[in-house]
Amino acid sequence: MKVVVVGAGVAGLAAAHFLAARGCEVVVLEASERIGGKLRRASVADVMVDVGAEAMLARRADGIDLARDLGLPIVHPTKATSRLWVDGALRPMPPSLMGAPMDLDALEASGVLSPAGMAQARAEANLAAVHRVGEDCTVGDLIDRRFGPEVTDRLVEPLLGGVYAGRAREISARAAVPQLAALYDRGPLTPQLAAIPRGSDLPVFAGIEGGMGLLPERLAAGLDVRTEEPVLGTGYAHDRLLVELVHGVEVTDGLILATPAHVAAQIIAGCAGGSLADTFRVIDHASVAVVTHAVRLEDWPLGHDVSGFLVPPDQHRRIKASTFSFAKWDWVRAAGEARGVLLLRTSIGRARDSQALDFTDTELIAQSLADLRDAVGLTARPVDSHVQRWPLGLPQYALRHRRQVEVIREAVAQVPGLAVAGAAYDGVGIPAVIASSRRAADELLASS
């Protein structure tokens, strides 16, 4: 069976890898000049570091298993902990389930909420459970009703901002926090959240020594990948799928679209009709930028026990997060120290903040450094800085996202030989994306 995979991000490359392992003839077509999509490494002060995704959930095996199969060394973050930058201070991150507080005493001690906000959070345990999530509600609605808006603004927003670059009052509870949605339907959250076991020694996150960007590099090494080969459209002739290229047409038995949803919408119209294309277009995207700095060892004002901080949007800062990569990953610290520097990054941009990427690189670097100066007291100029823009980089899982994905999958299933994979559907995290690739490969093989 011949299969064309469109897009050489981790979704497309993983799907191609699974199909090739099962005897298919696979070609991956990538529009840009490079593979990897949002998994990308770049040199900052001569140290290769991730400038896109830099970690993956460890509790879901899909990512770790694939990396291990490829012989890549799995590592886990250090014990350094993250902070919240609120009211001018870096405060301890209270334990939470995507911002829903699991320990109200720790929340109070962190100083993240005002006394009034704290009183409202404490009242949750005694609130009657009159609402249900039903088909869906936003994460913000759910938390606002139970714990009050300060918990949404100061805890949920920064955490959702980190994963989706999204807004709590727009993101689907069923899609983004299904575990929390299920607890909500059962009654008051405070006792249920407090009862979730904590302090397990099992690491929550994993990475790859040398960077997550090694994953697509290693996947592509065993595959036929053609870069600078954008797919423009699709069609049918004599019961075979046609893939329209800039110069010519590729004929194939199977086709996996592993591009962002808005691109899939354009490509798919020829073989599945305009109404399916419109369903894909419903999925919105947020644009973000990652600004990475290399600072001299002697210029760093903090210790190594803090791995970074998140910034709630109500603090009106330009950056939404900073990761002190040298404190989070031993391999980054060692690689940087060998060159006398420490590597850290900041991220900028949330859903509907279209302005974020309008600034020049010099301006983004200046904004990033201004916030770092105010947050941690870093005043020295970095040795090197790098700006990576991710226009439309993160799909937004809005209300009823899961239903939209069902509609897309039902319609795609009507087109023989077609499957979809990627961050737009069942989760934006790398393990969820890889699971979507395995599913797409299974669907194609089952239908052949």
* Least distance in angstroms from the C-beta of 30 to ligand FAD: 5
* Least distance in angstroms from the C-beta of 257 to ligand FAD: 9
252 binds ligand FAD per the rule CB under 6 A: no
4 binds ligand FAD per the rule CB under 6 A: no
Number of residues that bind ligand FAD (CB under 6 A): 36
429 binds ligand FAD per the rule CB under 6 A: yes
Please answer whether residues 412 and 312 qualify as being in contact, where contact means their C-beta atoms are separated by less than 8 angstroms. no
- Helix (H) and strand (E) counts in the chain: 18, 22
Complex with ligand FAD: residue 342 or 428, whichever CB lies closer: 428
Instruction: Give the full edge-to-edge strand order of the sheet including 56-57.
Output: 56-57, 205-208, 74-75
Binding segment for ligand FAD (CB under 6 A), chosen from 71-79, 95-103, 169-177, 420-428, is 420-428
393 binds ligand FAD per the rule CB under 6 A: yes
Q: Supply the angle between the helices 274-281 and 401-413 in degrees, to the nearest 10.
A: 150
Instruction: Give the full edge-to-edge strand order of the sheet including 231-237.
Output: 231-237, 240-245, 248-252
Complex with ligand FAD: residue 44 or 189, whichever CB lies closer: 44
* Least distance in angstroms from the C-beta of 219 to ligand FAD: 11
* Least distance in angstroms from the C-beta of 99 to ligand FAD: 18
Complex with ligand FAD: residue 8 or 415, whichever CB lies closer: 8
Q: Cβ atoms within 10 A of the Cβ of 201, count?
A: 4
Binding segment for ligand FAD (CB under 6 A), chosen from 71-79, 170-178, 399-407, 422-430, is 422-430
349-to-152, 175, 260, 282, 371 alpha-carbon distances in Å:
18, 21, 18, 21, 14
Tell me how far apart the alpha carbons of residues 278 and 261 are, in angstroms, rounded to a whole number: 10
Binding segment for ligand FAD (CB under 6 A), chosen from 98-106, 128-136, 258-266, 334-342, is 258-266
231 binds ligand FAD per the rule CB under 6 A: yes
Residue of the chain from 4, 15, 39, 291 that contacts ligand FAD (CB under 6 A): 39
Residue of 127, 138, 146, 85 whose CA lies nearest to 110 = 85
356-to-160, 166, 247 alpha-carbon distances in Å:
18, 14, 36
* Least distance in angstroms from the C-beta of 329 to ligand FAD: 12
* Least distance in angstroms from the C-beta of 393 to ligand FAD: 3
Please answer whether residues 163 and 428 qualify as being in contact, where contact means their C-beta atoms are separated by less than 8 angstroms. yes
Site string for ligand FAD, 63-102 (x = CB under 6 A): ----------------------------------------
Please answer whether residues 291 and 387 qualify as being in contact, where contact means their C-beta atoms are separated by less than 8 angstroms. yes
* Least distance in angstroms from the C-beta of 117 to ligand FAD: 29
Label residue 248 exposed, middle or buried (CB < 10 Å: 0-12, 13-18, 19+).
exposed
255 binds ligand FAD per the rule CB under 6 A: no
Residue of 332, 34, 71 whose CA lies nearest to 211 = 332
Q: Name the residues that contact ligand FAD, by CB under 6 A.
A: 6-12, 29-32, 37-39, 52-56, 230-231, 258-260, 263, 288, 290, 390, 393-394, 422-423, 428-430, 433
